């Protein structure tokens, strides 16, 4: 890294200056503009910055930012880690992350699902961690079957070692052209996108599964095997298994997770992180002690205080994410739901109809956000009583002091975070 | 009709890309509000389509599932029999195209449909993504159509169908019309929960199979419609 060619050194330095300026002028956290400036001066900068490091790419529909954080934490056992901790997950963000820690021997990069092929080609990363694929922001995102197809093509013929969740049939299919795969049975709650075989289109038979439709999700079950009824495609034998609160490593040793991050989805993220860390030489005992120190990730799961109310912030961007958030939310507490439909959220709110809100019956439910009427109708049709609130602040003051859960989608979440000085 | 209204959702395992379930939930809710018991059947693409349902729904999907869905529906034949027996159908987006004689596959290649509607579709030049508003054929007596479209399709209507509406905002079929209908079959590019934004369309489908319906409280539907139409229609 210290051997960067002069032009790349200059591009990297100017990019960091742009990032500093962006932060100083309050325009943003600088990770995108800095990377853009660097790439403008040296289009090959990402490849050059990636060379000579042990690099992990992390991609999925949900859990990218958290899993990136967990893997980066684990690798700190071995040395310095460059990482895009705040979710700037396209090449400009990658350049910025690697530039800002030029001498770190390790890099852990969250990668947008669509960009994975390009970033893999450019960086020639040695490790790729793939967790899940489900419907997400269809007005601007790629169709997921197509996305998995692109992953297959990108991994084919590359030396990368892939760590993949074999409980997700589409991820399994996307990963299975890789030269080497470590399979992790990390579970799959949202199954509405994997009733058909990605290989042949035939029906997938799934163990321990709720029936199709309604989006209620599968209970976390030890047996999550699946197989196509018409071709030979089936779940590979896992090397690692997430079993309730425990991770079982390839030697059969059981590790109680005891994370501070809540919920089944984070236990799955931790299992993926432990398997990835071991592939780089961090044994489970050491990685786990690092994972347990993570309490919140870019504001997710953090608790903020206002006027005697303790608000726990949960981010959910798509139907699978809402299922995970419901798993974390406390059924005895009131809940505020906030939904927007700005560009980063997807301008289409249809996905609200894929979420099963009936689980909220019996809780005080407060609805806000720019698209609160879409959510209001959705809840009315589901027979979930709710209060409509003009703003987040109105919702908070309408509730008595005490603990409150908050679930918001992307820009709604960022708006709330901004009210609390960008809580992390 | 028997004691229960049977809502049949065709192939949610293939064609349920984004919120298509909403149409079934809205039909259930609006029937229930009138004291009509409902039963919703989710038909996997490996299973036969029941012949004895009342309202059938088929949703949107990616190219490959659309082709698989069309093949299986054609082999099955159940949907044709149900429609012949007087059932109603709402076909959305990819499901709408399947109802015609032909549609465009992954590379734009023609793929045969199931010929339930006199339409033919192909791939357009660019993807149409965004809000749509359209005036419904006056013969149907429905208020403005509102919804979201996300497709690359262009659909030509034959003499056997009538356009469902004339677009004010959005692309629809690509010729200034959006969707079509013939008998008790309605097709539309309004993807996801089209019926949530158009409860009168839901009631039309219901009334075709159960007869005239009493008014119900529509306030949440109406508030959402008003907001969306105000957001997209020129003032």
Question: What is the average pLDDT score of chain B?
Answer: 95
Q: Are residues A120 and A100 in the same domain?
A: yes
Torsions phi, psi of B198, nearest 5?
-135, 70
Residue of B nearest to A195 (CA): B13
Mean pLDDT of B15-30: 94
Mean pLDDT of A319-326: 92
pLDDT level of residue A1 (50, 70, 90 thresholds): very low
More confident residue, A16 or B25: B25
Give the pairing type, strands B102-104 and B110-112: antiparallel
pLDDT at A195: 86
Percentage, residues of chain A above pLDDT 70: 92
B180 in catalytic set: no
Residue of A nearest to B23 (CA): A353
Spell out where B94-191 has E strands: 102-104, 110-112, 119-136, 145-157, 162-169, 177-182, 185-188
pLDDT level of residue A2 (50, 70, 90 thresholds): low
Residues of chain A positioned with their CB less than 8 A from the CB of B14: 195-196, 201
Using one digit for the tens of pLDDT, what is the confidence trace for A325-366? Answer: 999 999 999 999 999 999 989 899 999 999 999 999 999 999
Inter-chain contact B44–A192, Cβ cutoff 8 Å? no
Inter-chain contact B68–A196, Cβ cutoff 8 Å? yes
Examine the pLDDT at A99 and tell me if it is beyond 80. yes
pLDDT at B203: 98
Q: Are residues A221 and A190 in the same domain?
A: yes
B151 in catalytic set: no
Examine the pLDDT at A212 and tell me if it is beyond 90. no
Residue of A144, A211, A353 with shortest CB distance to B196: A353
Q: Are residues A262 and A409 in the same domain?
A: no
Is the CB of residue B227 less than 8 Å away from at least one CB of chain A? yes
Mean pLDDT of A207-219: 58
Examine the pLDDT at A85 and tell me if it is beyond 70. yes
Spell out where A114-258 has E strands: 127-130, 161-165, 180-185, 204-206, 226-228, 240-243, 246-248, 254-256
Q: Are residues A98 and A162 in the same domain?
A: yes
Using one digit for the tens of pLDDT, what is the confidence trace for A114-151? Answer: 999 999 999 999 999 999 999 887 665 558 888 999 99
Length of chain B: 235
Mean pLDDT of A202-207: 87
Residues of chain A positioned with their CB less than 8 A from the CB of B22: 350, 352-353, 378, 381
Inter-chain contact A213–B21, Cβ cutoff 8 Å? yes
Mean pLDDT of A27-38: 74
Using one digit for the tens of pLDDT, what is the confidence trace for B166-178? Answer: 999 999 999 999 9
Is the CB of residue B21 less than 8 Å away from at least one CB of chain A? yes
- Out of A41-55, A261-275, B107-121, B134-148, pick the least confident: A41-55
Closest CA to A228 of B13, B125, B156, B194: B13
Contact B45, B68 (CB under 8 A): yes
Q: Are residues A228 and A307 in the same domain?
A: no
Q: Are residues A280 and A336 in the same domain?
A: no
pLDDT at A278: 98
Catalytic residue among B54, B151, B180, B191: B191
Please give the positions of A annotated as active site.
348
pLDDT at A208: 65
DSSP, collapsed to helix, strand or coil, labels residue A283 as: coil
Mean pLDDT of A193-212: 80
Q: Are residues A209 and A333 in the same domain?
A: no
Residue of A195, A215, A350 with shortest CB distance to B193: A350
Residue A83 in any domain: the answer is: yes
- Out of A85-94, A181-190, A332-341, pick the least confident: A85-94
Percentage, residues of chain B above pLDDT 90: 90
Six token digits for residue B91: 């076909």
pLDDT at B146: 98
Inter-chain contact B68–A201, Cβ cutoff 8 Å? yes
Mean pLDDT of A321-325: 92
What is the C-alpha to C-alpha distance for residues A213 and A235, in angstroms, rounded to an integer?
22
A112 CB contacts (<8 Å, ≥6 apart)? A59, A89, A90
Number of domains in chain B: 1
pLDDT level of residue A87 (50, 70, 90 thresholds): confident
Residues of chain B positioned with their CB less than 8 A from the CB of A376: 220, 223-224
Mean pLDDT of A29-35: 75
More confident residue, A102 or B93: B93
What's the CATH code of the domain at A176?
3.40.1190.10
More confident residue, B226 or A224: B226
Number of domains in chain A: 2
pLDDT at A421: 78
What is the C-alpha to C-alpha distance for residues A96 and A184, in angstroms, rounded to an integer?
30
Inter-chain contact A145–B64, Cβ cutoff 8 Å? yes
Q: Domain end: A245, A264, A291, which one?
A: A291
Closest CA to A61 of A415, A346, A367: A346
Is the CB of residue B128 less than 8 Å away from at least one CB of chain A? no
Residue of A143, A202, A350 with shortest CB distance to B22: A350
- Domain hosting B125: range is 5-232
End-to-end Cα spacing for chain A? 30
Mean pLDDT of A53-77: 96
CA distances from A84 to A41, A44, A93, A202 (A): 21, 19, 7, 39
pLDDT at A59: 97
What's the CATH code of the domain at B137?
3.40.50.880
Q: Are residues A22 and A115 in the same domain?
A: yes
pLDDT at A13: 82
Q: Are residues A225 and A308 in the same domain?
A: no
Residue of A203, A347, A380 with shortest CB distance to B220: A380
CA distances from A260 to A160, A219, A316, B117 (A): 31, 22, 19, 56
What is the C-alpha to C-alpha distance for residues B69 and B81, in angstroms, rounded to an integer?
17
- Domain hosting A396: range is 303-419
What's the CATH code of the domain at A329?
3.90.190.20
A328 CB contacts (<8 Å, ≥6 apart)? A262, A263, A265, A301, A314, A405
Using one digit for the tens of pLDDT, what is the confidence trace for A367-418? Answer: 999 999 999 999 999 999 999 999 999 999 999 999 999 999 999 999 999 8
A residues 216-275 closer than 8 Å to B (CB): 229
Q: Are residues A104 and A238 in the same domain?
A: yes
Residues of chain B positioned with their CB less than 8 A from the CB of A213: 9, 12, 16, 21, 42
Q: Are residues A114 and A164 in the same domain?
A: yes
Closest CA of chain A from B150, distance in Å: 6
Examine the pLDDT at A315 and tell me if it is beyond 60. yes
């Amino acid at each position: 890294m210290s051997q960067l060619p002069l032009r790349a050194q200059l591009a990297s330095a100017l990019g960091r200056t742009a990032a500093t300026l962006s932060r100083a002028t309050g325009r943003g956290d600088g990770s995108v503009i800095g990377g853009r400036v660097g790439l403008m001066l040296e289009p090959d900068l990402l490849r050059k910055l990636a060379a000579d490091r042990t690099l992990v790419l992390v991609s999925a529909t949900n859990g990218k930012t958290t899993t990136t954080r967990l893997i980066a934490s684990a690798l700190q056992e071995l040395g310095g880690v460059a990482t895009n901790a705040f979710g700037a997950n396209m090449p400009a963000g990658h350049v910025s992350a690697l530039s800002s820690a030029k001498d770190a021997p390790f890099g852990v990069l969250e990668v947008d699902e669509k960009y994975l092929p390009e970033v893999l080609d450019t960086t020639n990363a040695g490790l790729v961690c793939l967790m899940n694929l489900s419907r997400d922001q269809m007005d601007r995102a790629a169709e997921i079957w197509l996305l998995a197809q692109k992953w297959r093509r990108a991994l084919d013929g590359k030396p990368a070692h892939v760590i993949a969740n074999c409980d997700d049939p589409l991820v399994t299919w996307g990963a299975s052209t890789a030269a080497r795969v470590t399979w992790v049975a990390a579970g799959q709650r949202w199954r509405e996108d994997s009733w058909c075989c990605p290989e042949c289109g035939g029906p997938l038979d799934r163990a321990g599964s709720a029936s199709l439709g309604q989006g209620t999700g599968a209970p976390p079950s030890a047996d999550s095997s699946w197989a196509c009824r018409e071709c030979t495609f089936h779940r590979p034998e896992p090397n690692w298994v997430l079993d309730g609160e425990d991770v079982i490593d390839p030697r059969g040793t059981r590790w109680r997770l005891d994370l501070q991050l809540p919920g089944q989805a984070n236990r799955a993220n931790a299992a993926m992180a432990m398997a990835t860390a071991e592939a780089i030489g961090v044994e489970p005992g050491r990685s786990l002690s690092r994972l347990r120190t993570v309490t919140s990730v870019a504001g997710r799961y953090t608790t903020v205080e206002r006027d005697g109310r303790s608000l726990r912030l949960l981010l959910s961007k798509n139907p699978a994410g809402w299922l995970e958030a419901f798993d974390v939310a406390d059924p005895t507490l009131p809940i505020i739901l906030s939904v927007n439909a700005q560009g980063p959220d997807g301008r289409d709110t249809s996905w609200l109809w894929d979420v099963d809100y009936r689980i909220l019956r019996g809780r005080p439910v407060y609805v806000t956000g720019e698209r609160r009427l879409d959510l209001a109708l959705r809840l009315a049709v589901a027979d979930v009583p709710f209060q409509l609130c003009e703003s987040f602040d109105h919702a908070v003051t309408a509730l008595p002091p005490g603990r409150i859960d908050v679930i918001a989608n992307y820009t709604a979440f960022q708006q709330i975070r901004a009210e609390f000085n960008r809580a992390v | 009709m028997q004691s229960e209204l049977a809502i049949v959702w065709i192939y949610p395992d293939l064609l349920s890309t984004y919120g298509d379930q909403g149409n079934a939930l809205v039909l259930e809710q609006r029937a229930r509000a009138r004291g009509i018991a409902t039963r919703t059947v989710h038909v996997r693409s490996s299973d036969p389509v029941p012949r004895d349902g009342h309202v059938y729904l088929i949703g949107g999907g990616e190219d490959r599932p659309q082709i698989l869905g069309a093949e299986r529906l054609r082999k099955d034949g159940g949907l044709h029999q149900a429609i012949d027996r007087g059932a109603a159908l709402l076909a959305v987006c990819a499901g709408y195209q399947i109802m015609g004689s032909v549609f465009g596959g992954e590379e734009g290649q023609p793929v045969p449909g199931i010929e339930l509607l006199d339409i033919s579709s192909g791939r357009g030049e660019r993807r149409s993504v965004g809000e749509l508003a359209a005036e419904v054929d006056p013969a149907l007596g429905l208020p403005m159509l509102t919804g979201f479209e996300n497709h690359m399709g262009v659909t030509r209507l034959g003499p056997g169908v009538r356009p469902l509406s004339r677009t004010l905002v959005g692309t629809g079929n690509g010729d200034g019309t959006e969707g079509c209908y013939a008998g008790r079959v309605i097709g539309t590019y309004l993807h996801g929960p089209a019926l949530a934004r158009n409860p009168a369309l839901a009631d039309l489908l219901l009334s075709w199979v159960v007869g005239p319906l009493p008014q119900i409280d529509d306030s949440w539907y109406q508030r959402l419609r008003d907001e969306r139409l105000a957001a997209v229609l020129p003032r």
